[in-house]
Structure 1
Amino acid sequence: MLKHLRKWVVTRFFGHSRQRTRLVSKDGRCNIEFGNVEAQSRFIFFVDIWTTVLDLKWRYKMTVFITAFLGSWFFFGLLWYAVAYIHKDLPEFHPSANHTPCVENINGLTSAFLFSLETQVTIGYGFRCVTEQCATAIFLLIFQSILGVIINSFMCGAILAKISRPKKRAKTITFSKNAVISKRGGKLCLLIRVANLRKSLLIGSHIYGKLLKTTVTPEGETIILDQININFVVDAGNENLFFISPLTIYHVIDHNSPFFHMAAETLLQQDFELVVFLDGTVESTSATCQVRTSYVPEEVLWGYRFAPIVSKTKEGKYRVDFHNFSKTVEVETPHCAMCLYNEKDARARMKTGYDNPNFILSEVNETDDTKM
């Protein structure tokens, strides 16, 4: 009872006041910004314009999409207007009855814009058309048609690629809200639950983790966000997972684990961030995706395990109850990994006999004091 009360008090009064800075949010977004980037380095983003456009947010992407088409239509509309102006096809020049214009029925800037739009999107209403009178108009028609195909292919391809990016597939992979620490198979383990909300599989899935913390080297150098590898496994290994139902992945807290020297009483005093990664290939598109989440000390529950989530119905089907996905149950757990290993060593010594080198057997001669 006191354990629960203490944990509630710490979480309620100290947890909110101590807002820990996350590098990775719960939904996988990275909380990092770049400052003082040189102008030459920024130009590299325009060299790789395809990736830059794909990484833009939707509001900026739609702005670029609309601006690219409207800008090209208006630009070529000005060029068509210039051709008509130079050839004196406009009504203010009062062309003669036998005058053959470069483009039929261009009477001003508005009609030039409409002809530019019809040319680039290949609408072709048939009211305005290029004649054989001007070679400049024919060249401009060819140039706008080719450039229009390029703009259309690039922008439509960028929209399609943005929609079909595997990042959206990662939204249907979810991790448990909390990580738990309890015994599993006689070992103290850190456990996390992950589920695939779609029936389509992730092929070649691989799970691993990184522990981010600030460390000081023996030379006195302070390393912020120092990364320590955390190996996560399931009963069948950590690669090529059969990810059809929710899995409970675990990390064994042994002598090589950074959690070995932590205890239930000191866990909330630690300053670390556990980032968990799941890499896989989307079965339907063959595109690779990565799902990320993170856990801070307040989200690691010591002495708990996850509630059962998979059951079998009377009809012989397996049912997954996501109501218990992040639900935890308190279990008896050693308050530190070192205590568990010391307990095992003590039990092993109790089953083994030891020789006492200081024990000396002294022989005693028996005398018979009875005389006959």
Structure 2
Amino acid sequence: MTLFPQTRLVRKSGRCNVKACNMKHRRLQFFLDGYTSLLECKWHLLIFIFLVSFVMTWILFSLMWYGVYNWHQNQKRDNAVNWKPCILNVKNFESIILFSIETQTTIGYGSRDVSEECSLGVFLLVVQSIFGAMLHALIAGTILAKIQSPAKRAKTVLFSKQACICLENDELCFMVRVGNLRRSEFVGATVRALFLAHKLTAEGDFLPHHLHEMAISLPESKVQNHLWWPATIIHRINESSPLFGISPEILKDSDFEIVILLEGGIASTSMAFQGRTSFKPSEIKWGYRFSPMFDRRNPFGLHHEVNFDHFDSVRLDATSPMMSASDWYYTRNRNADKNNFIRQRCVSNGSVLAMMLD
């Protein structure tokens, strides 16, 4: 039964392919969480918002300064010898806009300033200076947080384009390769695998998006959770595995998705990140295993060379059975029971065949 033949939950780029629909008051909720909304904006939209914020605040405070300027001008008396304007060297609205920009950006050319005769102007000067400092801090913090986003670090984490199913230590295993392009290590990296498929419960309820946790191990280096070199993620297909009853023939017509999650911390910034990818049945190679990546041509060099040209390379494994894990275990156990029976008969008869069977 094919549910979603073209769509996948997680794209190869790691982006989650889920769209929320019919959300009430969505824009209001996003507005209340404004800082997170700014961080999730694209760069061109974020720059546009900052430019509009600057221009709008300059114009808004220019209108306030223009009102204060006219109010102080109306208080001018004909016989007042010591009268001073509220803003020195300001003659029209254009010069007030320049004064507003100089005040908020703390340029201070010195040609225009507020006189001590205007208390309202001094108060407005303090308000605009504080507002400008807060706006600059918000913009600088947002840009810095967006640059240091852990999602960018996940771009330098590689997952193999295909997965393999082959025999490993007399067990059928599902294998995925993962690698780190940077020299910076991962702190406490963990790998998870989720099996996404439809499921029919015992009560008859149909679950189109059921997630099943798949046990994962790193047999190449169990302590290598920092990924100094590319590692192979292995899921052993046993009785608790959702792949236990799937054969190569069934795999071609199956509709499921295996999501791989790599979570950990960045050693240089101590920030958490998550790398994601997924595999459809057409991206799983049965009877193949990954090729070695360590370059043996220069064994006495200063470095252990890892050839990333072989990161996605696979080679045929002739020892892997072209049957499901359940059939393989049944066949292997039946042969083992038969050999045990022959060994017992030979030992009882003192035959040399018992030693050959060992």
Query: Structures share a fold, TM > 0.5?
Result: yes
Structure 2 CA distance, aligned partners of 1:302 and 1:223? 28
TM-score of the two chains, using structure 2 as the length reference: 0.88
- Residue type at the aligned position of 1:340: W
Residues 294 and 305, structure 2, Cα contact 8 Å, conserved in 1: yes
Secondary structure of residue in 1 paired with 2:305: strand
Q: Give the structure 1 partner of residue 352 of structure 2.
A: none
Percent pairwise identity: 37
2:293 alignment partner, one of 309, 325, 342 = 309
Q: Give the structure 1 partner of residue 349 of structure 2.
A: none
Structure 2 CA distance, aligned partners of 1:48 and 1:95? 57
Residues 206 and 238, structure 1, Cα contact 8 Å, conserved in 2: no
* Structure 2: gaps of 5 or more residues: 343-358
1:273 alignment partner, one of 257, 263, 283 = 257
Shift of 1:240: 6.2
Measured against aligned partners, the alpha-carbon deviations of 1:286-345 in whole angstroms (never above 9, x if no partner) come to 000000001111111111111111124232521111111101111122121122212320
Pairing 1:251–2:235 present: yes
Residues 203 and 240, structure 1, Cα contact 8 Å, conserved in 2: no
Pairing 1:146–2:130 present: yes
Q: Give the structure 2 partner of residue 338 of structure 1.
A: 326
Pairing 1:30–2:13 present: no
Secondary structure of residue in 2 paired with 1:174: strand
Q: Give the structure 2 partner of residue 325 of structure 1.
A: 311
Shift of 1:276: 0.3
Q: Give the structure 1 partner of residue 339 of structure 2.
A: 351
* Structure 1: gaps of 5 or more residues: 1-17, 355-372
Shift of 1:43: 2.2
Bigger Rg, which one:
1
Secondary structure of residue in 2 paired with 1:127: coil
* TM alignment of 1:167-316, pairs within 5 A: 167-235=151-219, 241-312=225-296, 313=298, 314-316=300-302
> 1:56 and 1:238, CA in 2 relative to 1: closer, same or farther beyond 3 A?
farther
Structure 2 CA distance, aligned partners of 1:342 and 1:156? 64
Pairing 1:63–2:48 present: yes
Measured against aligned partners, the alpha-carbon deviations of 1:222-264 in whole angstroms (never above 9, x if no partner) come to 2121111012211167776141000011100001100011110
- Residue type at the aligned position of 2:290: F
Which shifted more, 186-195 or 107-116? 107-116
> 1:141 and 1:339, CA in 2 relative to 1: closer, same or farther beyond 3 A?
same
Q: Give the structure 2 partner of residue 7 of structure 1.
A: none
Pairing 1:111–2:95 present: yes
Secondary structure of residue in 1 paired with 2:9: coil
Pairing 1:157–2:141 present: yes
- Residue type at the aligned position of 2:14: G
Pairing 1:128–2:116 present: no
Which shifted more, 233-242 or 192-201? 233-242
Structure 2 CA distance, aligned partners of 1:246 and 1:236? 10
Structure 1 CA distance, aligned partners of 2:222 and 2:129? 53
Secondary structure of residue in 2 paired with 1:128: coil
Pairing 1:87–2:72 present: yes
